[in-house]
């Protein structure tokens, strides 16, 4: 099983809302990633968790807050977002950072 799941599939939120994106994998992978993808562009790395510790933060604004409650779960907490944050948010996982990355289907986020 090489599946990464993400919920919700779609999310519409106002600029004052607080919401969370969730990602789950049961492959025993110890590295998990959040990416942001705008239309017709490649994914941009936001955060990397390695063995449940944050190892990379690509200078992401503090209105995005990642959390890794355990080795299977990754959350992205959203607060006071801007319309330009509307994008496809992708989660990925790998055995560790040197190995193949597997992506989830993404959450389509619209900020109004």
Partner 1 sequence: KQEVTQIPAALSVPEGENLVLNCSFTDSAIYNLQWFRQDPGKGLTSLLLIQSSQREQTSGRLNASLDKSSGRSTLYIAASQPGDSATYLCAVLIQGAQKLVFGQGTRLTINP
Residues lying near partner 1 in the complex (CB under 8 A): 4, 6, 31, 41-43, 45, 48, 50, 55-56, 88, 90, 92, 97-106, 108
Residue 83 has phi, psi (to 5 degrees) of: -55, -30
36, 87 contact by CB (below 8 A): yes
**Whole-Å CA distances, 58 to 1, 10, 27:** 30, 24, 25
Report, in Å, the least distance between residue 96 CB and partner 1. 9
Q: Give 60's Cβ-side CA count (13 Å radius).
A: 22
Cβ proximity to partner 1: between 7 and 15 the closer is: 7
Cβ proximity to partner 1: between 86 and 102 the closer is: 102
Report, in Å, the least distance between residue 80 CB and partner 1. 26
Cβ proximity to partner 1: between 70 and 98 the closer is: 98
Reading the block at residue 100, the tokens are 């193949």
């Amino acid at each position: 099983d090489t599946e990464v799941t993400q919920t919700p599939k779609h999310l519409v939120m106002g600029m004052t809302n607080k919401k969370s994106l969730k990602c789950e994998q049961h492959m025993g992978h110890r590295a998990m990633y959040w990416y942001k993808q705008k239309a017709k562009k490649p994914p941009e790395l936001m955060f990397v968790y390695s063995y449940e510790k944050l190892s990379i933060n690509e200078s992401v604004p503090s209105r995005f807050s990642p959390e890794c409650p355990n080795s299977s779960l990754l959350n992205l907490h959203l607060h006071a977002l801007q319309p330009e944050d509307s994008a496809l948010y992708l989660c990925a996982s790998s055995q560790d950072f040197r190995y193949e990355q597997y992506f989830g289907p993404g959450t389509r986020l619209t900020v109004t």
